């Protein structure tokens, strides 16, 4: 069974790498000492380093957001709807029983 590195996301082949078991029984797999040290000792986020899979995902999402904003597709209508919803209180339905009148 091939596991992925807990820091960089690359596959750790059988018989290589290191398995680290935390006190809460969470298992972390590391492909190299570099990944192990970055996560456990230096407590770094994988999204900040270019050699990780998490960085590639974060960069792709960021570029998509920039393209969306640059194309002018950002709508102000949802924000206006939220403002109207906050100002207007919800009306309660009043049920009148005709038999009582």
What is the reported pLDDT for 72?
74
pLDDT at residue 89 in the model: 57
Q: Is residue 63 part of a domain?
A: yes
Q: Tell me, what's the pLDDT at 74?
A: 54
Q: To the nearest whole number, what is the mean pLDDT of the chain? A: 81
Distance CA 17, CA 65 (A): 36
92 belongs to a structural domain? no
pLDDT (0 to 100) of residue 70: 82
Residue 88 has a pLDDT of 54
Q: What is the pTM of this model?
A: 0.59
Parent domain of 67: 3-87
- Report whether 11 contacts 32 (CB < 8 A): no
Number of compact structural domains in the chain: 1
Tell me what pLDDT residue 5 has: 93
Does residue 96 form part of some domain? no
The pLDDT of residue 20 is 96
Residues in the chain where the model's pLDDT stays below 50: 76, 101
Q: What CATH number does residue 44 fall under?
A: 2.30.170.20
With b for 16 or more beta-carbon neighbours within 10 A and e for fewer, the 39-52 pattern comes to beeeeeebeeeeeb
pLDDT in tens, 7-18: 999 999 999 999
User: Which residues does 5 contact at the CB level (< 8 Å), separation at least 6?
Assistant: 11, 12, 17, 29, 30, 31, 32, 35
């Amino acid at each position: 069974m091939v596991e992925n590195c807990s820091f960089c996301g690359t596959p750790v082949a059988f018989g290589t790498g290191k398995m680290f078991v935390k006190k809460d029984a969470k298992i972390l797999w590391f492909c190299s000492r570099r990944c192990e040290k970055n996560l456990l000792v230096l407590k770094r986020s994988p999204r900040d380093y270019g050699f990780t899979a998490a960085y590639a995902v974060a960069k792709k999402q960021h570029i998509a957001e920039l393209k969306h904003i640059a194309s002018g597709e950002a709508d102000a209508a949802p924000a206006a709807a939220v403002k109207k919803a906050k100002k207007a209180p919800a009306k309660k339905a009043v049920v009148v029983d005709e038999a009582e009148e």
